[in-house]
Amino acid sequence: MSLIEVAALTVRYGRRTALDGVAFNVPEGAVYALLGRNGAGKSSLVRCLLGVQRPAAGSVRLLGSDVWTRRASILREVGVVPEEPDAPPAMTVHQIAAFCARLYPRWDSARVDDRLRRFGVPVDVPFGRLSKGQKGQVSLTLALAPEPRLVILDDPTLGLDPLARRAVFEELIVDLADRGTTVFLTSHDLAGVEGIADHVGVLCDGRLVLDEELESLKGRFRRLRVPAGGEDGGDGGLAGLADLAPLRIAQSGWGTEAVLTRWDEERLEEISPTLPRGAEVSALTLEEIFLAVVEPVAGERP
């Protein structure tokens, strides 16, 4: 079962199209990371997921129901961590947690206390006096407390220091291991995302240009480097790589580099005798794949 179903989603602001026919599903139990540069459309998509923005076209279904028409009932089963943590600034963390506990039948007060203690958040301090990192940790704690089937996090580590970012992702890993929560998140912290996500989507100018399992994505991307020198016909010795769909080919004084998007070990073995001496192949991190996709030099986006 898919807990998120997005179909042909289109959002416009006047003449500007923020989302253009976006479609994807998030299976139950998955951790789906949506990546994109600023202005790519991530915030518009999150607003549609939460039923606070009506799209110009297309639909969003959460937990099997249309979120625009059944938002109130659906969100009882959804935990949300907004990009900017928000709560009454004069209320203490303890007061906020006690207030929220009355709204949810499955509120786990013991887990709230334990999580805040691990985060080191003082529960008797007004929310408005907490640091940004502590506010984010409180938001995550409150989002997970009612044992939601789905958690939506909108760039939860934005502006946090490295220790606070690591704490947020570690807490998500703990919750995933304990309950198998389905997670949808946007993030600029690609190293943190790589440690927990199993599905990845990439938005570029309002279009979803990648949508696949992370292991599959990393398995088909490779970097091929060829040192300068030798006879290569001016192409860096990479003329036989068309079958491997090179996305980016860049040349400089030290040689030629290609990012391949359809890695195939057997095909590379066939053409390896034609490559210049010293050619090296290496895997790419998620961040390197993201940069290659959103800023291609040659070819089409995969």
Residue 267, classed as helix, strand or coil, is helix
Strand 2-13's sheet: what is its strand order? Answer: 16-27, 2-13, 57-62, 65-66
Q: Rounded to a whole number, what is the distance in angstroms from the first to the last CA of the chain? A: 27
Report the pLDDT value the prediction gives residue 58, as an integer from 0 to 100: 97
Alpha-carbon distance of 87 to 253, in angstroms, equals 55
Hey, what are 41's tokens? 């459309």
Burial class (CB in 10 A: 0-12, 13-18, 19+), 164: middle
Report the pLDDT value the prediction gives residue 51, as an integer from 0 to 100: 95
237-295 pLDDT tens trace: 566 677 788 887 777 767 788 899 998 888 777 777 777 777 888 999 999 999 999 87
Report the pLDDT value the prediction gives residue 168, as an integer from 0 to 100: 85
Contacts of 1 (CB under 8 A, 6+ apart): 27, 28, 64
Cβ neighbours of 173 (radius 10 Å): 13
Task: Check if the beta carbon of residue 262 is closer than 8 Å to that of residue 280.
Answer: no
Q: Nearest 5°: phi and psi at 176? A: -65, -40
13-68 pLDDT tens trace: 999 999 999 999 999 999 999 999 988 999 999 999 999 999 999 999 999 999 99
Burial profile 180-219: b = 16 or more Cβ within 10 angstroms, e = fewer: ebbbbbbbebbebbbebbbbbbbbbebbbbbbeebeebbe
175-218 pLDDT tens trace: 776 788 899 999 988 988 998 999 999 999 999 999 999 999 99
Task: Check if the beta carbon of residue 244 is closer than 8 Å to that of residue 221.
Answer: no
In terms of DSSP H, where are the helices of 188-283? 190-194, 214-220, 265-271
pLDDT beyond 70 at 143: yes
Residue 93, classed as helix, strand or coil, is helix
- β-pairing, 182-186 vs 222-227, is unpaired
151-168 pLDDT tens trace: 999 998 888 888 888 888
Hey, what are 156's tokens? 């939860």
Report the pLDDT value the prediction gives residue 276, as an integer from 0 to 100: 72
Report the pLDDT value the prediction gives residue 80, as an integer from 0 to 100: 94
Domains of the chain listed by start with CATH number: 2-216 (3.40.50.300), 222-283 (3.30.70)
Q: Average per-residue pLDDT in the chain?
A: 88
Q: Position 126: which residue type?
A: P
The DSSP 8-state label assigned to residue 243 in this structure reads G
In terms of DSSP H, where are the helices of 180-223? 190-194, 214-220
pLDDT beyond 60 at 232: no
Q: Tell me which residue has tokens 């359809």.
A: 262
93-118 pLDDT tens trace: 999 999 999 988 889 999 999 999 99
Report the pLDDT value the prediction gives residue 302, as an integer from 0 to 100: 63
Report the pLDDT value the prediction gives residue 130, as an integer from 0 to 100: 95
Report the pLDDT value the prediction gives residue 105, as an integer from 0 to 100: 86
